[in-house]
């Protein structure tokens, strides 16, 4: 533990000591604190979406030599707020032929795995909602169900473009989930644990991006596909199938899809930060400099690295053309998967050789 | 956490599992059935969590609930009915089905009731449970594990050849 306490941890401890005499029962306090953590995560997701929508349009603007949103608020910062108000006041149209319940539930269900995944993100030392022993595996398991709401939306809309989009989402997400999982296995083998805090602590000497560069590359590609972003945005490819599963949605339901997209983008970036970029730890540096930056709390480092990853994903979006469906499939199965398997083999042999070398 | 929270959670999860399982059988639309099947699996995963089997719960969600999307995709592709509302119909085997199901239920109830479950003195930690599963699969039961893997690979390759049509040699 650090000597200088993290301000967010201090707040949590103060809240706990305030609730203790108020509620009496320690179990009730625990449950309440889980509620506080949930509220904090919701705050991160919503606040983040507001910033990311603005950031995406600004980045797009700079990539295309134009200013981007710049009318509402300083440098256009309040643009998303204005857009949100517009979306809330829009009419919520329900087409006649939709499968009522499934159609209504799809954008709501979409949010469940996303929200559940945030529970295991180590924002800083000790700043994690639930530090599960199987943290990373839990994230992968929860993330694997994201396909279902897309298919629900695509099928229930009773629209051929929506259904094509839904079917594409199954093909794409299931195919790219496998290299995604395999790319993380190399790191898990090095750490010997699935616990998020252990994975971060194991990187105090060297970040895993340097030990597992191929795995990082595979992860970034597969994560782009999992979040349905360009060059893998075939699911909603607007020049081919209108907006894929979202075609028939309007108003607040449509904006829920939008919100979930940015929440997922933050999620995959946070996992990349945790697994490959050292999580909440400052970059490796000489001891003198380490003391100089010791006052910066872990969550600042975590946020900085995560936003760098998000910028990278936005950069991809505005510089790469979209894949074709057959290219998407052959690239996933014939390039990424063998590469990920080879990476696991090399990592295993490397660990074995290292153990022999140090005589363990 | 205390006893009450567990009991409440158990009854909520059990209700989710039972009602969605009934829905899987009763509903006429095959996509609705498949979606409720996913909910059943998630509920079972929740019960695993209550039993401190976190790893098993995550596997349940990943392998079973995650694969539901593929099941729906096949359901949509293979049912060529103009009206999806009758894609999961009942037929005359209902009586036979009931007898078989009742027999299965009776056998399982008898097996569960007559077995005495030994209570471990210490709760297994999850770190050990992941390691334990790995040890069992890759050391004690390597041969059967590899045989199963080989069988699945062969079956998958066979399915692809049947679907694509092999070139005549």
Written as one string, the DSSP assignment of A12-35 is HHHHHHHHHHHH--HHHHHHHHHH
- Tell me what ipTM this predicted complex has: 0.77
Residue A284 confidence (pLDDT) above 90 = no
Q: Which residues of B touch A30 (CB under 8 A)?
A: 1
DSSP for A112-146 reads HHHHHHGGG---BTTB-S---TTHHHHHHHHHGGG
What phi, psi does B167 have (nearest 5°)? Answer: -70, 140
Q: How far apart are CA A210 and CA A94, in angstroms?
A: 51
**From A23-27, A217-221, A280-284, the region with the lowest mean pLDDT:** A23-27
How far apart (Å, rounded) are the C-alpha atoms in residues B54 and A136?
12
Q: In this structure, are residues B73 and A167 in contact, taking their beta carbons and an 8 Å threshold? A: yes
When CB atoms are compared, the residue of B2, B70, B84 closest to A27 is B2
DSSP assignment, residue A194?
-
| Interchain contact, A30 vs B125, CB within 8 Å | no
- Scanning B98-117 for CB atoms below 8 A from A yields none
Q: Residue length, chain A?
A: 360
Choose the closest CB to B130 out of A134, A141, A151: A134
Cβ contact, residue pair B31, A144, below 8 Å: no
Alpha-carbon distance A170 to nearest alpha carbon in chain B (angstroms) = 7
Q: Closest Cα to residue B45, out of B79, B13, B15? A: B13
Kindly determine whether residue A155 and residue B2, on different chains, have CB atoms separated by under 8 Å.
Answer: no
CB contact under 8 A, A141 and B66: yes
Asked if A170 and B70 come within 8 Å (Cβ–Cβ), the reply is yes
Domain boundaries, chain B: 1-83, 124-168
What is the mean predicted confidence (pLDDT) over A329-358?
88
Q: Dihedral of CA A87/A92/A94/A99: which sign?
A: positive
Confidence of residue B90 (pLDDT cuts 50, 70, 90): low
B3, B34, B35, B85: which to substitute to probe chain A, counting the most A Cβ within 10 Å? Answer: B35
Question: What is the mean pLDDT of the segment spanning A50-56?
Answer: 86
Å between A138 CA and nearest CA of chain B: 6
| Of the partner residues A102, A144, A163, the one whose CB lies closest to the CB of residue B66 | A144
Section A236-248 average pLDDT? 75
Inter-residue contact A197 to A277 (CB < 8 Å): no
Helices B30-50 and A100-117: crossing angle, nearest 10°?
Answer: 30
Fold of B1-83: 1.20.120
Considering only CB atoms, which chain B residues are within 8 Å of A132? Answer: 54, 126
Q: Do A134 and B5 touch (CB under 8 A)?
A: no
Mean pLDDT of B69-91: 67
Distance (Å, whole) CA A353 – CA B16: 50
Q: What would the two tokens of residue B166 be? A: 């092999």
User: Taking a C-beta distance cutoff of 8 angstroms, is the pair A153, A246 a contact?
Assistant: yes
Distance, CA of A1 to CA of A5 (rounded, Å) = 8
Q: Cα–Cα distance between A148 and A159 in angstroms, integer? A: 17
Whether chain A has a CB inside 8 Å of the CB on B21: the answer is no
Q: How far apart are CA A110 and CA A82, in angstroms?
A: 24
- Asked if B68 is an interface residue toward chain A (Cβ–Cβ < 8 A), one would say yes
Which band of pLDDT confidence, cut at 50, 70 and 90, is reported for residue B151?
very high
Main-chain phi, psi angles of A321, to 5 degrees: -80, 165
Instruction: Encode pLDDT of B13-52 as tens digits.
Output: 999 999 998 888 888 777 788 888 888 888 888 888 887 7
Task: Tell whether the model's pLDDT for residue B121 goes beyond 80.
Answer: no
Cα(A124)–Cα(A249) distance, integer angstroms: 38
Contact A50, A58 (CB under 8 A): no
Residue entry with tokens 């306090």: A29
Instruction: List helix spans (H) across chain B.
Output: 3-26, 30-50, 54-59, 68-78, 94-114, 126-135, 142-164
Show residues of chain A in contact with B69, CB under 8 Å: 147-148, 151, 170, 173-174
Nearest CA to CA, how far is B101 from chain A (Å)?
29
What's the pLDDT score for residue B152?
Answer: 92
Q: A140 — contact with chain B (CB < 8 Å)?
A: yes
CA distance B73 to chain A (A): 7
3-state secondary structure of A212: coil
Interval B94-123 mean pLDDT: 83
User: Any CB–CB contact under 8 A between A99 and chain B?
Assistant: yes
**What does the alpha-carbon distance between residue A341 and residue A107 come to, in Å, rounded to a whole number?**
35
Are A155 and B66 within 8 A, CB to CB? no
Residue A3 has pLDDT above 60, yes or no: no
Distance CA B159, CA B164 (A): 8
Residue with tokens 């006041």: A89
Q: What's the gap in Å between the CA of B70 and the closest CA on chain A?
A: 7
Residue A164 in contact with partner chain B when CB distance is under 8 A:
no
Distance CA A11, CA A33 (A): 12
- Indicate if the pLDDT at residue A218 is higher than 60: yes
Read off the tokens for A185.
């296995």
Q: Do A134 and B126 touch (CB under 8 A)?
A: yes
Render A273-334 in DSSP notation, one character per residue. Answer: HHHHS-TTSPPP--HHHHHHTTTS-HHHHHHHHHHHHHHHHHHHHHHSPPPPHHHHHHHIII
- Asked whether the whole model's pTM tops 0.90, one would answer no
**Residue that wins the pLDDT comparison between B118 and A352:** A352
What are the CA-CA distances from residue A227 to residues A59, A150, A268, A322 (Å)?
18, 12, 8, 14
A61-77 mean pLDDT: 82
- What's residue B104's pLDDT? 94
Look at residue B169 and tell me whether its pLDDT is greater than 70.
Answer: no
Q: Which DSSP symbol is given to A97?
A: T
CB burial readout A74-97, b (16+ within 10 A) else e: eebeebbeebbeebeeeeeeeeee
Count A/B contacts: CB-CB distance under 8 Å. 77
């Amino acid at each position: 533990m650090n000597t200088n306490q993290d301000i967010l941890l201090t707040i949590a401890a103060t809240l706990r000591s305030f609730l203790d005499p108020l509620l009496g029962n320690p179990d009730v306090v625990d449950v309440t604190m889980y509620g506080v953590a949930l509220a904090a995560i919701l705050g991160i997701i919503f606040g983040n979406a507001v910033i990311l929508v603005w950031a995406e349009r600004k980045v797009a603007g700079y990539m295309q030599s134009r200013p981007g949103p710049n009318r509402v608020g300083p440098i256009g910062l309040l643009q998303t707020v204005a857009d949100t108000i517009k979306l809330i006041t829009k009419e919520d149209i329900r087409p006649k032929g939709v499968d009522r319940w499934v159609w209504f539930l799809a954008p709501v269900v979409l949010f469940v795995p996303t929200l559940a995944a945030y529970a295991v993100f180590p924002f800083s030392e000790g700043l994690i909602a639930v530090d599960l022993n199987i943290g990373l595996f839990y994230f992968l398991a929860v993330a694997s169900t994201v396909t279902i709401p897309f298919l629900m939306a695509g099928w229930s809309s009773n629209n051929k473009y929506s259904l094509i989009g839904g079917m594409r989402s199954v093909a794409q997400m299931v195919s790219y989930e496998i290299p995604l999982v395999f790319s993380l296995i190399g790191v898990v083998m090095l750490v010997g644990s699935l616990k998020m805090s252990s994975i971060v602590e194991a990187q105090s000497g060297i970040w895993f991006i340097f030990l597992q560069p191929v795995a990082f590359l595979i992860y970034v590609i597969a994560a782009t596909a999992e979040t349905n972003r360009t060059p893998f945005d075939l699911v909603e490819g607007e020049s081919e199938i209108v907006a894929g599963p979202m075609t028939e949605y309007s108003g607040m339901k449509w904006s829920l899809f939008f919100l979930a997209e940015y929440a997922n983008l933050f999620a995959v970036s946070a996992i990349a930060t945790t697994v490959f970029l050292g999580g909440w730890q400052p970059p490796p540096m000489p001891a003198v400099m380490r003391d100089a930056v010791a006052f910066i709390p872990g969550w600042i480092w975590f946020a900085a690295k995560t936003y760098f990853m998000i910028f990278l994903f936005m950069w991809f979006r505005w510089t790469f053309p979209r894949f074709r469906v057959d290219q998407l499939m052959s690239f996933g199965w014939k390039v990424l998967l063998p590469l990920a398997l080879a990476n696991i083999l090399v990592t295993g042999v490397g660990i074995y050789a290292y153990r022999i070398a140090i005589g363990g | 956490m205390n006893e009450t929270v567990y009991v409440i959670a158990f009854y909520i999860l059990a209700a989710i599992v039972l009602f969605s399982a009934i829905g899987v059988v009763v509903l006429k639309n095959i996509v609705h059935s498949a979606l409720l099947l996913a909910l059943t699996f998630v509920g079972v995963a929740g019960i695993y969590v209550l039993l401190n089997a976190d790893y098993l719960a995550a596997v349940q969600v990943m392998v079973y609930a995650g694969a539901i999307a593929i099941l729906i995709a096949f359901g949509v592709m293979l049912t060529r009915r103009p009206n999806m509302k009758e894609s999961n119909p009942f037929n005359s085997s209902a009586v036979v089905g009931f007898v078989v199901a009742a027999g299965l239920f009776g056998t399982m109830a008898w097996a569960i009731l007559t077995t005495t479950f030994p209570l471990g003195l210490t709760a297994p930690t999850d770190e050990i449970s992941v390691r334990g599963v790995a040890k069992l699969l890759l050391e004690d039961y390597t041969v059967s594990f590899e045989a199963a893997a080989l069988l699945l690979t062969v079956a998958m390759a066979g399915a692809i050849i049947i679907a694509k049509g092999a070139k005549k040699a």
